[in-house]
Structure 1
Amino acid sequence: MGEANTTKKTNFFKGLKSEFKKIVWPSFPILMKQTGIVIAVSLVVGGIIAGIDTIFGAIVRFLLL
């Protein structure tokens, strides 16, 4: 019973090592470009959400006063 468990763990880690060898990591310039895009899109979406929140906040204040 213990030997089968050890074999399963060994096979799992061999498979894991095999899968990690298949990973293609991006080059540094591509990584920086994609990081910049993610930051820019996050700022734009954050600005849109802040604008919508401000508009709805003003509407609610108007209706309650």
Structure 2
Amino acid sequence: MGDKANTTTESAVKAGFTQEVKSEFKKIIWPSKESLTKESVAVIVTTIVLGGVVALLDLGIQYLINSVL
């Protein structure tokens, strides 16, 4: 008998959770295609530039260490 009541409670909790998730998804403001493209390009360019800076620093430090040793 207790199992049926527990199952009903679980179903109600799951249904309430699903409704809350749907409600929250309606509040999301998705970016436009143009905005998404601009932001993606900015992230890619920044990643490449910072990767180059790290590579140059690595080469510089490696050169200094090799010249000391």
The answer to whether residue 35 in structure 2 is matched with residue 24 in structure 1 is no
List runs of 5+ in structure 2 lacking aligned partners: 1-5
Q: Percent identity?
A: 34
Count of residues paired in the alignment: 64
Partners of 1:7 and 1:32 lie apart in 2 by 41
Partner of 1:2: 7
- Specify the structure having the higher radius of gyration (Cα): 2
Could you tell me the TM-score, scaled by structure 2's length?
Answer: 0.83
Instruction: Give 1:48's aligned amino acid.
Output: V
TM-score computed with the length of structure 1 as normaliser: 0.87
1:57 aligns with 2:62: yes
Report the 3-state secondary structure (helix = DSSP H, G, I; strand = E; otherwise coil) of the residue aligned with 1:25.
coil
1:39 CA displacement? 0.8
RMSD: 1.1
Q: Which runs of 4+ in 1 moved over 2 A?
A: none
- One-letter identity of the residue aligned with 2:33: F
